[in-house]
Amino acid sequence: MAFDPVSRSGDPDAAPDGATLTHLDSGDSLLHAEPPPLDAWSEGRHAPAVGPWRLAGRRLRRNKVALAFLGLFIVLVAMCLLAPVYANRVAQIGPNTNNVTGTVNVRGHSENVVSLDGVPIGPTWTRHYFFGADTNGRDLAVRLLYGGRTSLLIGGVATLIIIIFGTLVGLVSGYLRGPVDGVLRWLMELVWSFPPVILGVVVGTALAFGGIGPIKGNSIWIPTIIIGGIYVPYLGKPIRGEVLRLREHDFVDAARVVGIPPWRIMMSEILPNAASTITVFVPIMLANAILLESYLSFLGAGVQAPNASWGTLISDGLPYISTTPSFSLIPGAMLVLTVLSINIVGDGVRDALDPRAQVRIKT
């Protein structure tokens, strides 16, 4: 270990390898979680300036786990979106087609879809009734994919609503302040104070009754709007906080002094700076929206018959949990895999955009 680089001849600029430099590790690594501030270390890099987004993208690309689950998520979404294709070409049966008396050809044998004592066929692992049938003879795999389609559609559109309105409300509220802020803030607090499930079930049940305006009671847009509305404050409040901080910066004053109108300032000065916060929230909100939809549908306040979603499928399968757990557990597994993938990708996005949030260890 006595090693003097000054007098060493040869190449003093070789990167130190583990053998020549000792590594000291003192047990708990928590208390040395981060090397001292790196200030000028990445400065004089003599390389083109890399913006924070490009940097984040690079970091994300290095995150193999997040990428893997992103891939999984894309596959799951594709499968569900292609539900009609599966129904028509592969299973050749629709999601709501009852087939109690039919038979199916499984590896050469002909079997009853629903047996004489009412027990539906289990997974056949073939194109027909891949995951088996339910007591009405419906193809579970087809229902699974259609249900997924519904769940993802509701979750996706709800997330869109959340992002658009949450950002808008946060921007307007935080930038304009005054009475507008007062009202919006009060509204946000109000919605935010109720537990999402309870609020969703109350409003969901109420609106499922008679619909609202031109939208019918059993339309899937009702849970979509409800879920979107419930989570708007969850984005609106942080964005408002961010905007409050940003508007104190000099560049905002500069824009104001030059005479740029408020809405322009909000859009072109403040919004881009809040963009990374918004981006971090997208996967979080998507996961929450899909989960909330499953809760609501499970409790009967979300997706209504004849539509199905993963939540309704799980609920339908619950009475059979002791005999045929797959009725509930297979849609459940799909749901968990989807939400899990989104959460993992979301963590990856957050780490990529905010490196301080995570200690990076390189072996």
Partner 1 sequence: MGRFIVRRSLSAIALLLATSFLVFSFFELIPNYNPARAIAGRSANQTTVNQVAKKFDLDKPFYVQYANTMKLIFTGQVIDYQNDLNVVDQFRQRFPVTFSLVVPAAIIWLVVALLLGSISALRVGRLTDRAVMVGAIIGVSVPIFLLAALLLYLFAYKWAVFPNTGYTHFGDSPTQWAYHLILPWISIAVLSIGFYSRVLRSNLLDTVNQDYVRTARAKGLSQRKVFRTYVLRNSLMPIVTLFGLDFALLLGGAALVTETVFNLPGIGQYEASAIGNLDVPPILVGAIFTAFFVVVFGAIVDVLYAMLDPRVRLTG
Partner 2 sequence: MAERLLDVDGLQVSFVTEDGVVRAVDGVSFTLDRGEVVAIVGESGSGKSVTAMTLMGLTRGPNSRFGGSARLRDRELVTATEDELQRIRGEEIAMIFQDPISSLSPVHRIGDQIVEQIRAHEKISKAAALDRTVQLMERVGIPRAAERARAYPHEFSGGMRQRAMIAMALSLSPSVLIADEPTTALDVTIQAQILEEIRQLSRESDSGVIFVTHDLGVVADIADRVVVMYSGRVVEQGTLNEIFYDPQHPYTWGLLGSVTRMDREPPHRLPAIPGQPPSLVNAPTGCHFRPRCPHAFDKCGEVPPLESHVSESEDHLDRCWLDVSEKRQRREVEDGRIGLGQGPVAA
Indicate the residue among 89 and 360 with the shorter CB distance to partner 2: 360
Binding flag, residue 287, partner 1 (CB under 8 A): yes
Interface residue with partner 1, options 234, 282, 298, 349 (CB under 8 A):
298
CA distance 133 to 142: 10
Query: Is the alpha carbon torsion for 283, 336, 157, 79 positive or negative?
Result: positive
Residue 227: in which H helix or E strand, if any?
A: helix 221-246
Interface residue with partner 1, options 56, 70, 201, 270 (CB under 8 A):
201
Interface residue with partner 1, options 154, 158, 207, 265 (CB under 8 A):
207
- State the binding partner of 22 from partner 2, partner 1, none, CB within 5 to 8 A by kind: partner 2
- State the binding partner of 214 from partner 2, partner 1, none, CB within 5 to 8 A by kind: none
Here's the x/- map for partner 1, 19-58, by CB under 8 A: it reads as --------xxxxx-xx------------------------
Cis peptide before 12 (omega within 30 of 0): no
- State the binding partner of 162 from partner 2, partner 1, none, CB within 5 to 8 A by kind: none
- Least Å distance between CB 180 and partner 1? 21
With beta carbons less than 8 A apart as the criterion, state whether 256 and 145 touch: no
CA distance 61 to 186: 41
Q: Which amino acid is at 239?
A: I
The tokens 């294709």 sit on which residue?
A: 85
**Residue from 120, 116, 165 nearest 143 by CA:** 120
Q: Which residues contact residue 129 at a Cβ distance below 8 angstroms, ignoring those fewer than 6 apart? A: 91, 104, 113, 121, 123, 139, 140, 141
- Interface size with partner 1, residues (CB under 8 A): 52
Indicate the residue among 38 and 78 with the shorter CB distance to partner 2: 38
CA distance 255 to 276: 21
Q: Which amino acid is at 22?
A: T
Write the DSSP symbol of residue 43: T
- Give residues 98-117 in contact with partner 1 (rule: CB under 8 A): none
Here's the x/- map for partner 2, 19-48, by CB under 8 A: it reads as -xxxxxxxx-x--xxxxx-xxxxxxxxx--
- State the binding partner of 49 from partner 1, partner 2, none, CB within 5 to 8 A by kind: none
CA distance 119 to 112: 9
Q: Supply angle C-alpha 353, 224, 182, rounded to 5.
A: 70
**Residue range at the interface with partner 2 (CB under 8 A); choices 8-16, 107-115, 152-160, 261-269:** 8-16
- State the binding partner of 295 from partner 2, partner 1, none, CB within 5 to 8 A by kind: partner 1
- Least Å distance between CB 359 and partner 2? 8
CA distance 256 to 56: 31
- State the binding partner of 328 from partner 1, partner 2, none, CB within 5 to 8 A by kind: partner 1
Measured CA to CA in angstroms, residue 363 lies from 18, 131, 360 at distances of 11, 43, 10
Q: Which residues bind partner 2 (CB under 8 A)?
A: 1-7, 12-13, 15-16, 18, 20-27, 29, 32-36, 38-46, 59, 62, 360-362
Q: Which residues bind partner 1 (CB under 8 A)?
A: 27-31, 33-34, 190, 193, 195, 197-198, 201-203, 205-207, 209-213, 287, 291, 294-295, 298-301, 314-315, 318, 321-322, 325, 328-329, 332, 335-336, 339-340, 343-344, 347, 356-359, 361
